[in-house]
């Protein structure tokens, strides 16, 4: 699908990063390889989590990414996916950041779902911490990424009706981390969103529902649109 010729996001580039990959579990050696994220070394990628019924986070994230791409393109944006389920594994977290940087994205979002304890519910948006180590330097993106995250969180509540996380972020729906290569190595405004907790039955019922995933994509898209339009 080509982006619309006109729309509120005409001329904007949005990078959408579907978390994990459904084939990661078949490539343990490759994804366990350590990569430099500036503040230390971590695995190239991970398998992600799944619901108790076996619905994989990687499947969820790619589905929401496709829905998000459609909404953003309808508003005139050019959308770059870090992968489209077409790779044997990964990409590594370092490459995910590099793809966004090389695309000169105006904003980037990495889509995930959490794997926490039963009773832990709700979404949270992860913001980049101030990091200056190795080839990581987030000084230019901390401010705009915080604004992007706040816009996404607000719209996610409005559109999905989901509450901010009751176990991370103190009720704000926002969390700041320095241990994620996808954020540390980004030179463009970027956040992660954990759309819910796959291991909680109530959240899992939402995450496995196609109509709810469409709302999730709409909420994320509205937040990105608010951010890019100022």
Active-site positions read 194
DSSP string covering 155-172: HHHHHH-PPBPSSSSTTS
Distance CA 172, CA 138 (A): 22
Task: Report residue 27 as tokens.
Answer: 């490539």
Calculate helix-pair angle for 210-229, 57-74, nearest 10 degrees.
50
Number of residues in the chain? 230
Task: Report residue 87 as tokens.
Answer: 């790779």
> DSSP 3-state assignment of 110?
strand
């Amino acid at each position: 699908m080509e982006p619309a010729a006109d729309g509120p996001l005409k001329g904007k580039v949005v990078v959408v990063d579907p978390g994990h990959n459904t084939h990661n579990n078949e490539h343990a050696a490759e994804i366990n390889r350590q990569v430099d994220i500036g503040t230390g070394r971590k695995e190239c990628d991970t398998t992600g989590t799944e619901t108790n019924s076996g619905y994989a986070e990687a499947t969820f994230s790619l589905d929401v990414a496709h829905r998000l791409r459609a909404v953003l393109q309808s508003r005139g944006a050019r959308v770059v996916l870090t992968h489209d389920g077409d790779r044997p594994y990964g990409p590594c977290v370092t490459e995910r950041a590099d793809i966004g940087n090389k695309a000169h994205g105006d904003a980037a979002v990495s889509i995930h779902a959490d794997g926490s304890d039963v009773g832990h519910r709700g979404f949270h948006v992860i913001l980049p911490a101030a990091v200056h180590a190795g080839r990581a330097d987030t000084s230019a993106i901390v401010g705009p990424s915080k604004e992007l995250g706040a816009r996404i969180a607000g719209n996610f509540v409005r559109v999905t009706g989901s509450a901010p996380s009751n176990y991370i972020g103190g009720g704000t729906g926002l969390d700041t981390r320095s241990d994620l290569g996808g954020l540390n190595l980004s030179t463009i405004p970027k956040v992660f969103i954990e759309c819910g907790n796959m291991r909680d039955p109530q959240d899992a019922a939402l995450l496995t529902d196609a109509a709810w995933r469409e709302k999730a994509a709409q909420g994320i898209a509205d937040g990105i649109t608010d951010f890019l339009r100022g």
